[in-house]
Chains A and B, each alone.
Chain A
Amino acid sequence: QKEVEQDPGPLSVPEGAIVSLNCTYSNSAFQYFMWYRQYSRKGPELLMYTYSSGNKEDGRFTAQVDKSSKYISLFIRDSQPSDSATYLCAMRTGGGADGLTFGKGTHLIIQP
């Protein structure tokens, strides 16, 4: 079993819809959780960063962490065609000694 599981998609939704992206993980030592957005042929860029359980909101983006279920989510409200990209979840332990562990990414398509 991989440490971080993420559905690769593609996930296709109409413009304006609410998008839900998810990851599950197996390592209970993960404490820091992030979401990256990656456009085609570009490097990943950090979207959201959360510590431990709870919610964090930034504009149209909301990140949720449920450590009891080992489940994290990213919600995108009022989705736009410019949100079309691959979304990668990432996480690390408290000590952070060995870098980030990434999910494989979900390819999201927002239809105009």
Chain B
Amino acid sequence: DAEITQSPRHKITETGRQVTLACHQTWNHNNMFWYRQDLGHGLRLIHYSYGVQDTNKGEVSDGYSVSRSNTEDLPLTLESAASSQTSVYFCASSADRVRGYTFGSGTRLTVV
């Protein structure tokens, strides 16, 4: 069955370190998204991609970057982790721009 997987499920890192969160989908979806979810803020869009080599900034992109070298993967990199980036990160994908998304199970990141 097609799926979208995120790794790791949990990560603890130190302030200033570079961290990469993985997202891999086997739906063959062109569109992929990264959100963070925080109490009091809900889900906020970080970056998104509508195809290979395409990346776009979302609402809260500062301190994050993505690259899309193939259809299946959209890794999210925190260039220099900060305590404010402690959050739960969700990756999602969709077949087109108007349908709902399929979400991964999330990565819980703690920056100490």
Contact = CB atoms under 8 A, between A and B. Distances in A.
Do A and B make up one complex?
Answer: yes
Interface of A: 6, 32, 34, 36, 41-46, 49, 51, 88, 90, 92, 95-100, 102-105
Top 7 closest pairs, chain A to chain B, by CB: A96-B97, A43-B103, A104-B42, A46-B100, A102-B43, A99-B45, A34-B100
Given A32-B98, A49-B99, A44 B42 contact: no
B86 interface: no
Interface string B84-105: 0000001010000111111111
A95 to B, nearest CB: 7
Interface of B: 33, 35, 40-45, 48, 56, 58, 90, 92, 97-106
Chain A at the B interface: SS class: loop
Contacts of A34: 100
Contacts of B40: 104
Contacts of A96: 97-98
A12 B98 CA distance: 33
B43 A46 contact: no
Given A102-B42, A102-B43, A105-B42, A44 B90 contact: yes
Given A43-B106, A46-B102, 8 more contacts: A41-B106, A43-B105, A88-B43, A97-B97, A100-B100, A100-B101, A102-B43, A105-B42
A34 B43 CA distance: 14
Central interface residue in B42, B97, B102, by most chain A CB within 10 Å: B42
Contacts of B100: 34, 36, 46, 49, 90, 100
Contacts of A32: 98
Central interface residue in B58, B90, B92, B98, by most chain A CB within 10 Å: B98
Given A43-B90, A92-B98, A98 B105 contact: no
Given A96-B97, A96-B98, A99-B33, A42 B58 contact: no
23 contacts: A32-B98, A41-B106, A44-B43, A44-B90, A44-B101, A44-B103, A45-B103, A46-B100, A46-B102, A49-B99, A95-B97, A96-B97, A98-B45, A98-B56, A99-B33, A99-B45, A99-B48, A99-B58, A100-B45, A100-B101, A102-B35, A104-B40, A104-B41
